[in-house]
């Protein structure tokens, strides 16, 4: 079964606005990763945050991790139409299962 | 190669036929994953290979599904006696070291069972 769930399932914003997506997971993790998917094909890695980190930045992306709440958020600032895609979180479980478990995804639409 | 390569990119097959999907991971990546993604859904884990260790097959949905990988090279996912519910995009990913590092995805194989 999938480890994570993203919220909201779909998000529509105007270009220039910020977009925030949330991910909740169930078990202890080593790290959490965010991926982006265009047009239902291959996923592209965006950012990885380790369990001992609380916040990480990469360009217009900001990721936070709260291990006590088993949740993470992805913030995209100053959104662009090209940011339109589906965004997934993936967790590397600390239980020894050598796997990446993906959430259900958030479909982001940025309106020009 | 430069990235993860999957073939074919699209496959249409008749119900009941067997299909074989191929994944060429990035050279040197010891971990290889197969996922299934139905239209508008998330990624469903199928199977995971790590070097020469026994694969984690816990995600395979039925005994019609099997996968092989020789060492750290090519992997094939085989679906026998395909059913319409097998229609999906099958995604392969590889990574340098299990889930501790980023995974690189291929573009997937879109399988349509008619």
The dihedral over CA atoms of B90, B93, B99, B101, expressed in degrees to the nearest 10, equals -150
Cα A44 from Cα A6, distance rounded (Å)? 17
Chain A positions touching chain B (beta carbons under 8 Å): 2, 30-31, 33, 35, 40-45, 48, 88, 90-93, 97-105
What percent of chain B has pLDDT above 70? 96
Which residues, at least 6 apart from B96, have a Cβ–Cβ distance to it below 8 Å?
A: B28, B29, B30, B31
Residue A54 has a pLDDT of 97
- pLDDT, tens digit, 9 for 90 and up, residues A12-67: 999 999 999 999 998 889 899 999 999 767 899 999 999 999 999 999 999 999 99
Q: How confident is the model at residue A1 (pLDDT cuts 50, 70, 90)?
A: very low
The dihedral over CA atoms of A38, B102, B10, B23, expressed in degrees to the nearest 10, equals 170
Write the DSSP string, A1-53. Answer: --S-EEE-SEEEEETTS-EEEEEE-SS-EEEEEEEEESTTS-EEEEEEEETT-
By Cβ distance, the residue of B33, B44, B107 closest to A100 is: B33
Six-digit token pair at B33? 């994953």
By Cβ distance, the residue of A35, A48, A99 closest to B45 is: A99
- pLDDT, tens digit, 9 for 90 and up, residues B60-90: 999 999 999 987 889 999 999 999 999 999 9
Six-digit token pair at B57? 């097959």
Average pLDDT of the segment spanning A79-97? 88
Centre a 10 Å sphere on the Cβ of residue B85 and count the other Cβ atoms it contains.
9
Tokens 């919220």 sit on residue: A7
B91 interaction partners in chain A (CB closer than 8 Å): 42-43
């Amino acid at each position: 079964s999938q480890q994570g769930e993203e919220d909201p399932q779909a998000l529509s914003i105007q270009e220039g606005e910020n977009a925030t997506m949330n991910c909740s997971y169930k078990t202890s993790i080593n790290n959490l990763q965010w991926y982006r998917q265009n047009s239902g094909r291959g996923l592209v890695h965006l950012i990885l945050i380790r369990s001992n980190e609380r916040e990480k930045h990469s360009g217009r992306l900001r990721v936070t991790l709260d291990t006590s709440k088993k949740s993470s958020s992805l913030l995209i600032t100053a959104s662009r139409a090209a940011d339109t895609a589906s965004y997934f979180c993936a967790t590397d479980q600390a239980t020894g299962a050598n796997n990446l478990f993906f959430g259900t995804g958030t479909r982001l639409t940025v309106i020009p | 190669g430069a990235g993860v390569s999957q073939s074919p990119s699209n496959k249409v097959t008749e119900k009941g036929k067997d299909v074989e999907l191929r994944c060429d991971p990035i050279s040197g990546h010891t971990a290889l994953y197969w996922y299934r993604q139905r239209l508008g859904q998330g990624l469903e884990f199928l199977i995971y290979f790590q070097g020469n260790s026994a694969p984690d097959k816990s995600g395979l949905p039925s005994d019609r599904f099997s996968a092989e990988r020789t060492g750290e090279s090519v992997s094939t996912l085989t679906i026998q006696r395909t059913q319409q519910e097998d229609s999906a995009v099958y995604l392969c990913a590889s990574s340098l070291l299990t889930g501790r590092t980023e995974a690189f995805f291929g573009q997937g194989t879109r399988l349509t069972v008619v």
